[in-house]
Amino acid sequence: MAEDAESSSAMSLFGDILVIDLTSAIRGMHCTKMFGDYGAEVILVEPIGGSPARRRGPFANGKRGPETSLHFAHYNRNKKSLTLNLHKTRAREILRDLVHSADVLVEDWPVGALDALGLGFAELHAINPRLVMCSITGFGQTGPYAGFKTSNIVEDAMGGLMGITGPVDKPPTMTGAQQAEHITAMHAAFATATALLYRDLQNLGQHIDVSAQECVANVLENAIEQYTYTGVVRKRAGSRHPTAWPCTVFPCKDGYIGMCCTQGKEVRGAALLAEDYDLADDPVLQNQFERRARADELEPRLIAGYMKYGKAELFHKGQALGCPIGMTSDARDLAEDPHLNEVGFFAEFEHPVIGKFKDIAAPVYFTETPGVMRSAAPLLGQHTAEILHSVGLGEAELSFLRTDGII
């Protein structure tokens, strides 16, 4: 359960950590957002025109602009905004000054782009040997694909997730909500936090190379091992699990339910939920392989029973019968979910342009160091003067830097 800034614990997980954020894609912004949610000071370095993420919708009240992107607002709360034109020498000098006291730098620039500006790991490590630098790209820093352009759909496809997702007789299906990018972000955040532990033990930072393709390929259950050991390539199976049944999505009166029963009592409960008492007592349900082989025959019997009821009723009845069952939820269902609202899954933010809005808080709960929702996403360049004052720059120099297009 996240806390607001006023009621937060004096102790936060990353309260003494300074993160420099050179990211604009979800795989980077979501990584640094997690550090900000748990107390780190995150300085988002944006070009003078603003992060490309500010130009992605949806937009508050339908008004397109750099301060109204709900996409940007979600991924950049608890951050400060510093505008720097890193193609200018003086701007790079300022960034190096910030690196002196930074703990982490996360970037998702193309391979070699920061090196070309004199901001690669070798240069920054020489300035601050304790710096942990995390570079997030589509295919990593080395190898034949390094430097190739990617996006979520490319990472989804190249990582193998798309290949096992979708109906049996249809083209592969991209997973929803940019899952490849989020999977990569979570790997990157874990790696960076772990590198900080090593840094504190050995007094030495390091460079982390995060490949989206490899992160996505890491979450394919056992599909790769199935091939390397048996030679069998897992095929798309729609919503059905390849070996378990009933483990799929079922239609019901007002939507769909998702259920995966693997144990005898659970499977019998699925039949009882459908009020098919003959099937509940049929020995076929007690044999995992036989019931999966006969899924086409048995599934319509469950569907016939489930179509009599709504998803909420099936959810509660199924859980009472010991079935792992859930309602398929859309954004409205989640926002109004009584469980999520009671446990503190949401937080309310107030943004000077967007106004008040409800967003997801930090979703992992720590008893001693809870997540802290300190601030909504920053306005473009909102903290530029504050941050530059902290490295010794005065108002006169800031005025010059603005005139020269450096900040």
CATH code, domain with 259: 3.30.1540.10
277 occurs within a structural domain: yes
300 occurs within a structural domain: yes
Same domain, 97 and 179: yes
Tell whether the model's pLDDT for residue 343 goes beyond 90: yes
pTM: 0.94
Q: What total of structural domains would you count in the chain? A: 2
Same domain, 8 and 106: yes
Same domain, 320 and 349: no
Domain with residue 383: its CATH number is 3.40.50.10540
pLDDT of residue 1: 56
366 occurs within a structural domain: yes
Tell whether the model's pLDDT for residue 138 goes beyond 60: yes
22 occurs within a structural domain: yes
Same domain, 192 and 325: no
Q: Which of 8-17, 111-120, 268-277, 287-296 has the lowest mean pLDDT?
A: 8-17
pLDDT in tens, 361-403: 999 999 999 999 999 999 999 999 999 999 999 999 999 999 9
Same domain, 257 and 204: no
pLDDT in tens, 74-95: 999 999 999 999 999 999 999 9
Structural domain boundaries enclosing 372: 2-218+344-403
pLDDT of residue 210: 98
pLDDT in tens, 160-182: 999 999 999 999 999 999 999 99
pLDDT of residue 9: 41
Tell whether the model's pLDDT for residue 2 goes beyond 80: no
pLDDT in tens, 43-75: 999 999 999 999 999 999 999 999 999 999 999
Same domain, 80 and 119: yes
pLDDT in tens, 287-324: 999 999 999 999 999 999 999 999 999 999 999 999 99
pLDDT of residue 126: 98
Tell whether the model's pLDDT for residue 272 goes beyond 80: yes
Domain boundary among 300, 329, 358: 329
Same domain, 208 and 318: no
Domain boundary among 329, 361, 380: 329
224 occurs within a structural domain: no
231 occurs within a structural domain: no
Tell whether the model's pLDDT for residue 4 goes beyond 60: no
pLDDT in tens, 100-134: 999 999 999 999 999 999 999 999 999 999 999 99
pLDDT of residue 193: 98
275 occurs within a structural domain: yes
pLDDT in tens, 179-188: 999 999 999 9
308 occurs within a structural domain: yes
Same domain, 62 and 204: yes
Average of per-residue pLDDT values in the chain: 96
First-to-final CA distance of the chain: 37
Tell whether the model's pLDDT for residue 7 goes beyond 50: no
Same domain, 146 and 295: no
Same domain, 54 and 170: yes
Same domain, 165 and 298: no
Same domain, 6 and 153: yes
Domain boundary among 276, 297, 329: 329
10 pLDDT tier (thresholds 50, 70, 90): low
